[in-house]
Amino acid sequence: MIGAGLGIAAALALVSTGVIWIGSEQLERGAGRLSRHYGLPVAVHGAVVVAVGSSFPELSSVVISTLLHGEFSLGVGAIVGSAIFNLLVIPAVSALASEELEATRDIVHKDAQFYIISVLVLFLTFALGATYVPGGTNEAAILTPALAILPLVTYGVYVFLQYQDTRDHAPSPPPDIDLGREWGRLAVSLAVIAVGVEGIVSAALDFGVAFGTPPFLWGLTVIAAATSLPDAFVSVRAAADDDSVTSLTNVLGSNTFNLLVAIPVGVVLAGTATVNFLVAIPLMGFLAFATIVFVVLTRTHLELTNPEAYALLGLYGVFLGWMILETVGVVDGVQGI
């Protein structure tokens, strides 16, 4: 029976991943046409429009996990795991898929540095929930809607800074498109993605029951990888088209949105949510380390080379190996897994 249940869960995960892929492809096309119609700069298109659109699966994972399954930790695991996947896997694959993946000083000094701020703000939010909210302990960080305001306001600052880049931008003549059709395509693609995310969340919960592991772990791995497909699709496609700016800003903008908006939205919907602080500390620490590695490699000669790409993939392999060892009990660095 357990084998049959695992087979069904695996099939559901594969089908749901395909559904997310299809919806994301339509989303990327619609968002691209609308950005060109409204004359947005390439950097803003990648950091805000494409990033928010491709982050919809992660946002959906938090909302669906919280409202339909009562598993807020599953959504948080998906967000943190997706952020690590986005930083280490997507740029690496994009670099390997292109002749040359170039960064710019704006990407390193603005987008990347603001993303570092977003990691710190989220960690600060968790720390405040563990120390200053009644009932919070060094093990349980209790997040409230009032605390969720901090990351949401920070994201507002990020959007404002991106808006400043549009003030002196001279847009090209807008293409002739059917606005109603494109906005309709966008709405349908979001609905398709939501259906796929519900399937992958259900599969992850089944995996957790079958293996006797916490939902957070499956959110950190299975859901994170599946919901990162839109980001991977957009970035690799942009890199193959020699659009390095969109490829990299999409990754950073998507992670910024996930950390500063997706998790707070889940908190607001739940009313109050609890995060295992002992689990969050080492994982946020690894995310911060991965961020530093990404920034250093992209800043070096403002290019991500193939050897550096393989180094990023190797670091993600180390992360997966660490999580597997934690799960089977070989190491015990993450308390609570």
Q: What are the pLDDT tens digits along the chain (337 aa)?
A: 455 567 787 888 888 888 887 887 777 777 777 766 666 665 565 555 666 666 778 888 888 888 777 778 777 888 888 899 989 999 999 889 887 788 777 777 777 888 899 999 999 999 999 998 888 887 888 999 999 999 999 988 887 877 776 665 555 555 667 777 777 887 888 888 888 888 888 888 888 777 777 766 777 888 888 888 777 877 887 888 887 777 787 788 888 888 998 889 888 888 888 888 888 888 888 999 999 999 889 888 888 889 999 999 999 999 988 888 877 777 776 655 5
Whether 295 and 108 have beta carbons less than 8 Å apart is answered as yes
* Inside any domain, residue 81: yes
What pLDDT is attached to residue 46? 52
* Inside any domain, residue 103: yes
- Phi/psi for 138 (5° steps) reads -70, -5
What pLDDT is attached to residue 261? 87
What pLDDT is attached to residue 211? 74
How does strand 303-304 pair with strand 140-143?
unpaired
Whether 227 and 194 have beta carbons less than 8 Å apart is answered as no
| Distance of alpha carbon 258 from the chain centroid | 5
- Tell me the C-alpha distance between 218 and 80, whole Å: 11
Whether 161 and 114 have beta carbons less than 8 Å apart is answered as yes
Q: At 68, is the secondary structure helix, strand, or coil? A: coil
* Inside any domain, residue 131: yes
* Inside any domain, residue 287: yes
* Inside any domain, residue 157: yes
Query: Which is nearest to 90 in space by CA: 55, 118, 45?
Result: 55
Number of domains in the chain: 1
What pLDDT is attached to residue 148? 92
* Inside any domain, residue 26: no
* Inside any domain, residue 337: no
What pLDDT is attached to residue 173? 54
CATH number for the domain harbouring residue 243: 1.20.1420.30
Residues recorded for the chain: 337
Domain interval for residue 309: 42-166+200-328
* Inside any domain, residue 298: yes
Q: What is the largest CA-CA distance in the chain?
A: 63
What pLDDT is attached to residue 1? 44
What pLDDT is attached to residue 334? 67
What pLDDT is attached to residue 209? 78
